[in-house]
Amino acid sequence: MIVSFASDVAPPARFPSPFGQPHPLAVAAARALMATLDPGPREGKMFGVLVVPGGYLRAFSGMLHGAWDVPGYAPPLFDRAARDAFWIAGEAELRDRAAAIALATTARDALVARQAQELDALTARHRDNRAARHVARQQPTGDRQPAPGTGASLVLDQASRGDAAEKKRLIARHAEEKRALVDAAALEAARAARSRALLHAIRATYRVPLDALFAPKEPPGGAGDCAAPKLLAWATALGLAPIALAEFWWGPPPPTGDRAHGSFYPACRGKCGPILPWLMRGLDAEPAPQFGGDAIAADEPRVRFEDAWLAIVDKPVGLLSVPGRSGHLRDSVLVRVQQRWPGATVVHRLDLDTSGLMLVAKDAATHAALQRAFAERRIDKRYVAWLDGVLMGQAGTIELPLRVDLDDRPRQVVDHVHGKPAVTEWRVLAREPGRTRVALVPRTGRTHQLRVHAVQGLGVPIAGDRLYGRAAARLYLHAEAIAFDHPHTGERIAVESPPTW
């Protein structure tokens, strides 16, 4: 159970937060585990280690090679016997329901297609009949046209009513055929209800109160199955005192591309945010890091350009662009510029960890004009960054669509189906041992665009990136240049503020 390892790193005084960077002692234990893993697995997986007296415990996220239980690793948080008592049959039931839905959907689609063809054919034939009757009504009988309601005209009227009756009969038959179909939507609704009931029953088998912890929302899929909850629960069951924890990705990246082989990642807040504090009750642990609460000098952000309508300021690292959603973090560029210029607004945002130039509007009309310019891509921005590695090539364009990671906000992931288009141009400025300096020009403005495009498009994260790479003293990404046509004077405004690093 407990795996021994060698390290001369002193243990921390308090249990480090799983939502922050791992302690060096936990990193050493993780390196020891990495040395025992398959160096080239086919499937990528999150692994975790928990340092305890005498060594470390190990765990994996979800299942490993199709198994929940693997000798030597932390067991799942749920009661296997209680779960298997209903889930094996329940899973088979859901499969059968899904198959019935597929058959009903196929039959419905085939019927709709056939009925559309029949109606189209009937409509075309009736159109031809109508045209023929119109011609017939224009043909004279003797020295005059047929009188309405008599003779040939009566025959034509009867034919018209016959076409209308035929269409009515076809529509009625189609409606009867649809009523005879198995309702695929009703089957899907019933399956969804059954699935929710089974999921609720599954959550009841966990050793943590998932429904209560995530209330009033539903727990996300996979909640309780990550490595960190398994480790903390196992340590409690064994009566062991947790010392430090670390989680890392091992193997090929997932389809979203947001994990790198051998890299460490904090516990996700979406799935583990409510669970880990519950499991750490009574443990002397450091609080979870709250980014954006650092003390920033009162004279920040510095003004680089100002006139009667707008200003360009230089945001420091660690200052929010706008107040946090929770309301606990108010200090931000927006709050500070409004203290200088009442009514001012920020036209765009920079990440908390990113420094550099931001555009501020002093009135609503200027704000609207500058936002239109951004939407029409008439404002040019350039960033400079140090990449944490050697980059091949000299220049290029990255086009990878992005969306938020629903289980781990604010992280973004590449998604070619549901992601929004994102385009970045890049150019190498300098190369040094182990790092590359680049210029980055975003042609779209997605959240974390440059950070994700660096690690996914270039294969090298930005240095100091705590979300997508390796944390350091700061994120080495700086918005150094902005240029645009002034919305009121038409003058070309171009401001640069190179970083000091």
Catalogue the active-site residues: 351
Q: Is the peptide bond before 22 cis (omega within 30 degrees of 0)?
A: no
Amino acid type, 224? G
Contact 303, 313 (CB under 8 A): yes
Torsion of CA 81, 83, 86, 87, to 10 degrees: -130
Amino acid type, 377? R
Which among 53, 39, 96 has a CA at the least distance from the CA of 241? 53
- In our burial notation (b when 16+ CB lie closer than 10 A, e otherwise), range 313-327 reads bbbbbbbbbebbeee
Q: Is the peptide bond before 216 cis (omega within 30 degrees of 0)?
A: yes
* Residues written for the chain: 501
User: Tokens 């001012």 belong to which residue?
Assistant: 344
User: Tokens 């063809």 belong to which residue?
Assistant: 117
Alpha helices in 139-183 (DSSP H): 151-180
Which among 233, 279, 220 has a CA at the least distance from the CA of 77? 233
> What H or E segment, with its residue span, contains residue 484?
strand 477-485
Amino acid type, 491? E
Gap between the Cα atoms of 178 and 180, Å rounded: 5
Gap between the Cα atoms of 501 and 455, Å rounded: 21
Three-state DSSP state, 465: coil
Gap between the Cα atoms of 54 and 68, Å rounded: 25
Backbone angles phi, psi at 437, to 5 degrees: -95, 130
Which among 230, 269, 266 has a CA at the least distance from the CA of 246? 266
Gap between the Cα atoms of 358 and 497, Å rounded: 11
Mapped to the 3 state alphabet, what secondary structure does 358-418 carry? EEEECCHHHHHHHHHHHHCCCCEEEEEEEECCCCCCCEEEEECCEEECCCCCCCEEECCCC
> What H or E segment, with its residue span, contains residue 339?
helix 333-340
Backbone angles phi, psi at 450, to 5 degrees: -65, -35
